[in-house]
Amino acid sequence: TLSDRLTSVLQNLRGKGRLSEADIDATAREIRVALLEADVALPVVRTFIAKVKERAKGAEVSQALNPAQQVVKIVNEELVGILGGETRRLNLAKNPPTVIMLAGLQGAGKTTLAGKLARWLKAQGHTPMLVACDLQRPNAVTQLQVVGQRAGVPVFAPEPGNGVGDPVDVARKGIEEAKRAQHDVVVVDTAGRLGVDEEMMRQAVDIRAAVQPDEVLFVVDAMIGQDAVNTATAFQDGVGFTGVVLTKLDGDARGGAALSVREVTGQPILFASNGEKLEDFDVFHPDRMASRILGMGDMLTLIEQAEQAFDADQAEAAAVKMGSGQLTLEDFLEQMLALRKMGPIANLLGMLPGAGQMKDQLANLDEKHLDRVQAIIRGMTPAERDDPKIINASRRLRIANGSGVRVSDVNDLVNRFFEARKMMSQMAGRFGLPGGGKNNR
């Protein structure tokens, strides 16, 4: 499987300090084979591999992740990107009713989806109605009536006993009925064939023209694998659609179809069906699908944890330093410079409402004060910055002369620094932060 393959490739990468081009190429070759095995269509695999290679080559070597984890992270991010990034919502008409037409091969799960959509829409406060336009199969209308009943929504169907009706006519009348009865969403179920054929396509085109849908959802069985590309292309060229619904994700399909359909048609995947019951249904989550295609949920979790642990380590190191009273004037200067990079303090404050009049005063006061602080610290030796306790009277005079300030300015800064350090240490102790309460001066 893809998972096994990636795992073995990545084990080879583990332990190396950084990604070399040879590493990336070797990995890319393996991922390519693995994606093909997962039923992703060849052109899609090619595009995908190219993107991953490009990014892996340009990527900075992460401090938090080993090279193996880094590759998986890139592969996963690209997958999520192709699958659509954020979930797209259903297009609702400005003037109801919103018309949603379902299209797809027989057995794809359209009629079941009609019931699921109805239930889901109803739960969100809509008043949906279903329209039965599959007049091909003997039981199709009854099947829709059953799911409609389960969802608790009305179903518009041709009168029984009048012979086989015209699905386009039923569709048109269905929309009229929805308007009359003020249903705000109409779901139009249509007929499918086991294979793509012209007559089915023509009928779908006629229904589309008659009902002018806000969404045409192409319903596709995730188990279809490589065939997804041909079927999706046929429906795209034949009827055209605005969104995709993947069904039967409760099976063991690896999800290659999702990637192929998305990449080949450019249309977003809106929903996912994962069972026969009406509640086995959800909006599509690209991140979950990516993780399913990779089959590496555990590894992705590990990566997230490694990154979080790294951030936490850095934050903790800083906290320990502050809390244990080991903060130096060098740290202080660094933080001040970082802050000042964000722009003059006065500008930052000026963004606050009501701070307008204070701006000139602040510009003179604070910027000058910060300049002075910076000059004083720069006038100190590294030893003095590292351990300000050694700054005695003669050192203070030297620093003052060297940085063009008065001795009292130097005293001021050093005293305030000790105060601040002590306060931080006490706060750390009180809040139980690492290193708290130790080594106060």
**Per CB under 6 A, 167 contacts ligand GDP:** no
Q: CB-wise, 109 or 388, nearer to ligand GDP?
A: 109
Q: CB-wise, 23 or 221, nearer to ligand GDP?
A: 221
**Per CB under 6 A, 425 contacts ligand GDP:** no
Q: For residue 367, what are the contacts with CB-CB under 8 A and spacing of at least 6?
A: 344, 345, 346
167 binds, among ligand GDP, Mg ion, none (CB under 5 to 8 A by kind): none
115 annotated to a ligand binding site: no
Q: Which stretch binds Mg ion (CB under 5 A): 89-97, 103-111, 268-276, 385-393?
A: 103-111
Q: Which stretch binds ligand GDP (CB under 6 A): 173-181, 224-232, 242-250, 381-389?
A: 242-250
324 binds, among ligand GDP, Mg ion, none (CB under 5 to 8 A by kind): none
Residue 431, CB-side half-sphere exposure with 13 Å CA sphere: 11
404 binds, among Mg ion, ligand GDP, none (CB under 5 to 8 A by kind): none
Q: Cβ 272 to ligand GDP, closest distance in Å? A: 8
- C-alpha dist (Å) from residue 326 to 18, 256, 422, 435, 439: 34, 55, 10, 10, 8
* Cβ atoms of residues 44 and 260 within 8 Å: yes
**Per CB under 6 A, 289 contacts ligand GDP:** no
Total residues at interface with Mg ion (CB under 5 A): 2
Q: CB-wise, 174 or 388, nearer to ligand GDP?
A: 174
**Per CB under 6 A, 436 contacts ligand GDP:** no
249 annotated to a ligand binding site: yes
CA distance 168 to 224: 28
328 annotated to a ligand binding site: no
Q: How far is CA 233 from the centre of its chain?
A: 27
Q: Cβ 115 to ligand GDP, closest distance in Å? A: 8
432 annotated to a ligand binding site: no
**Per CB under 6 A, 250 contacts ligand GDP:** yes
**Per CB under 6 A, 273 contacts ligand GDP:** yes
**Per CB under 6 A, 434 contacts ligand GDP:** no
386 annotated to a ligand binding site: no
Using Cβ positions, the residue closest to Mg ion within the complex turns out to be 111
Q: Is 115 exposed, middle or buried (0-12, 13-18, 19+ CB in 10 A)?
A: buried
193 annotated to a ligand binding site: yes
**Per CB under 6 A, 106 contacts ligand GDP:** yes
Q: Cβ 188 to Mg ion, closest distance in Å? A: 12
107 annotated to a ligand binding site: yes
As a three-state string, the secondary structure of the chain is: CHHHHHHHHHHHHCCCCCCCHHHHHHHHHHHHHHHHHCCCCHHHHHHHHHHHHHHHHHCCCCCCCCHHHHHHHHHHHHHHHHCCCCCCCCCCCCCCCEEEEEECCCCCCHHHHHHHHHHHHHHCCCCEEEEECCCCCCCHHHHHHHHHHHHCCCEECCCCCCCCCCHHHHHHHHHHHHHHCCCCEEEEECCCCCCCCHHHHHHHHHHHHHHCCCEEEEEEEHHHCCHHHHHHHHHHHHCCCCEEEEECCCCCCCCHHHHHHHHHHCCCEEEEECCCCCCCEEECCHHHHHHHHHCCHHHHHHHHHHHHHHHHHHHHHHHHHHHCCCCCHHHHHHHHHHHHHCCCHHHHHHCCCCCCCCHHHHHHHHHHHHHHHHHHHHCCCHHHHHCHHHCCHHHHHHHHHHHCCCHHHHHHHHHHHHHHHHHHHHHHHHCCCCCCCCCCC
CA distance 331 to 335: 6
Binding mask 143-172 for Mg ion (x = CB under 5 A): ------------------------------
420 annotated to a ligand binding site: no
Q: Indicate which single residue of 43, 81, 107, 297 sits in contact with ligand GDP (rule: CB under 6 A).
A: 107
**Per CB under 6 A, 275 contacts ligand GDP:** yes
Q: Which stretch binds ligand GDP (CB under 6 A): 75-83, 202-210, 272-280, 302-310?
A: 272-280
107 binds, among ligand GDP, Mg ion, none (CB under 5 to 8 A by kind): ligand GDP
**Per CB under 6 A, 104 contacts ligand GDP:** yes
Q: Indicate which single residue of 69, 70, 111, 203 sits in contact with Mg ion (rule: CB under 5 A).
A: 111
Write down the residue that tokens 């386009």 correspond to. 168
191 annotated to a ligand binding site: yes
Q: Cβ 222 to ligand GDP, closest distance in Å? A: 8
Total residues at interface with ligand GDP (CB under 6 A): 17
Residues numbered 191-210 forming contacts with ligand GDP, rule: CB under 6 A: 192
What does the binding site for ligand GDP look like in residue numbers (CB under 6 A)? 104, 106-112, 192, 247-248, 250, 273-276, 280
Residue list, annotated binding site? 104-111, 189-193, 247-250
Residue list, annotated binding site for GTP? 104-111, 189-193, 247-250
